[in-house]
Structure 1
Amino acid sequence: MAKLGKRTKAAREAFAGKENLSVEEAVALVKGNANAKFDETVEIALNLGVDPRHADQMVRGKVSLPAGTGKDVRVAVFARGDKAEEAKKAGADIVGAEDLMETVQGGKIDFDRCIATPDMMPIVGRLGKVLGPRNLMPNPKVGTVTMDVAEAVAAAKGGEVQFKVEKAGVIHAGVGKASFAEDKLAENIRAFVDAVAKAKPTGAKGTYMKKVSLSSTMGPGVSIDVTSATGN
């Protein structure tokens, strides 16, 4: 068995025996033990009572975090003509059409969010096998297939987070940085959990939100009392 480093060992000891904490307690614990040499991301995981293999149990959506994400989001936009210019002026990092498709097909995906105008979807559709597994495929349900590319770019740059449930019924997302003030992280967490709660699908039966946990990039995780996160 590999020997634990001092920092890892100290973090595990700090987390030992602690579970179902309030949002504020969990934030203080995670933030206080995020001691890496970089600004760690604070990550949330929600275990949901859904089976996303069934269409009526799929959970996906978006939320604008009140305190932002602390992350520099690189945005790619599939558009032509005036819409391409609109995207560039709004701050998009990469704008293109067939040329951008070829770049992505070649394996270069230098962006965190992908937006497309509706007329570009026949081109973007060819990239489903590449963008889909990375949760980068533009989708009208979360506002990334739109004629208002400027608004979509601004939202992506301004702290909007998209979420989509994975096969095991889990949703993961970053909700800020360890350098954020504790009250700002708590605010982001509750906003994110509230958005997932509102996205409850019609086919969900029984307990919808089973578990909420928080961690930092390099640290252990701790469970949060669901009522503290939801306010219910």
Structure 2
Amino acid sequence: MTKLSKKQKMLAEKLDADKLYSIDEAIKTVKELATSKFDETIEIAMNLGVDPRHADQNVRGVVSLPSGTGKDVKVAVFARGDNADKATAAGADKVGAEDLMEDMQAGNLDYDRVIATPDMMGVVGRLGKVLGPKGLMPNPKLGTVTPNVEQAIKDAKGGQVEYRAEKAGIIHSGIGKASFSEDALRANFDTLVNAVVKAKPSGAKGKYVRKVAISSTMGPGLKIDLGEIEGA
């Protein structure tokens, strides 16, 4: 277990586990607590009043964070011919067809996003059991099955993130790095939260956004006052 620095211990002692923080105060405090030697990721957790096991309560989508993610996103693309050339030129980390499928079947899945042109879905479909559990299966609704591979790669590497409610109805997502300014993190926070609020499914009953918290990779979670979140 990582030991806390003197500064972290001092700040942690000031934290009230039951306190509801304003968004700006939470972001400032989380940044102050992120004193590890590496640039910690600032993460958000949203507890939603949905049961993803029901089709009409699924919450999933993509959104482009205005300040980017600060992360080097690895992208694999299923394409042939001209589209394969375009994908390579656009900065894809791996481009292929059956060879890429076999590589993934062998367990080489070190990618953050998998993109495919529509004509490649016959090949990609064989990877359902491999990519599905990792949330990497290309999907037209998420813009990862598209003839415009160049734009999809640009979006993926330029700050686009996918959000998805897990079994317990919780969404986890990074909104930047501790090195980001408070304003940059706030812009990303608002963009992601607003996207999730707008994605409220028809089957959601009662209170939709139940809890929101932010933390750094190595830091404690701070609860957000939902009064600041429109639609919560």
TM-score, normalised relative to structure 2: 0.94
Q: CA RMSD in A?
A: 1.7
Deviations 1:46-97 (A, max 9, x none): 0000000000000000110010000010111001111111111111111001
Give the conservation status (yes or no) of the 8 Å contact 2:197–2:231.
Answer: no
- Counterparts of 1:153 and 1:161, CA distance in 2: 12
Structure 1, unaligned runs of 5 or more: none
SS in 2 for 1:230: coil
The aligned residue for residue 139 of structure 1 is 139
The aligned length equals 231
- Counterparts of 2:76 and 2:174, CA distance in 1: 20
The aligned residue for residue 61 of structure 1 is 61
Give the conservation status (yes or no) of the 8 Å contact 1:33–1:219.
Answer: yes
The aligned residue for residue 167 of structure 1 is 167
1:15 Cα offset (Å): 2.3
Q: Percent identity?
A: 61
1:1-232 aligned within 5 A: 5-6=4-5, 9-17=9-17, 19-230=19-230
Deviations 1:113-166 (A, max 9, x none): 110011111211111122112111111111001111111000001000011110
- Counterparts of 2:16 and 2:2, CA distance in 1: 18
- Counterparts of 2:219 and 2:182, CA distance in 1: 17
Give the conservation status (yes or no) of the 8 Å contact 1:193–1:230.
Answer: no
Counterpart code for 2:100: L
Range moving further from structure 2, 124-133 or 72-81: 124-133
- Counterparts of 1:117 and 1:156, CA distance in 2: 15
Give the conservation status (yes or no) of the 8 Å contact 1:23–1:229.
Answer: no
1:111 Cα offset (Å): 1.4
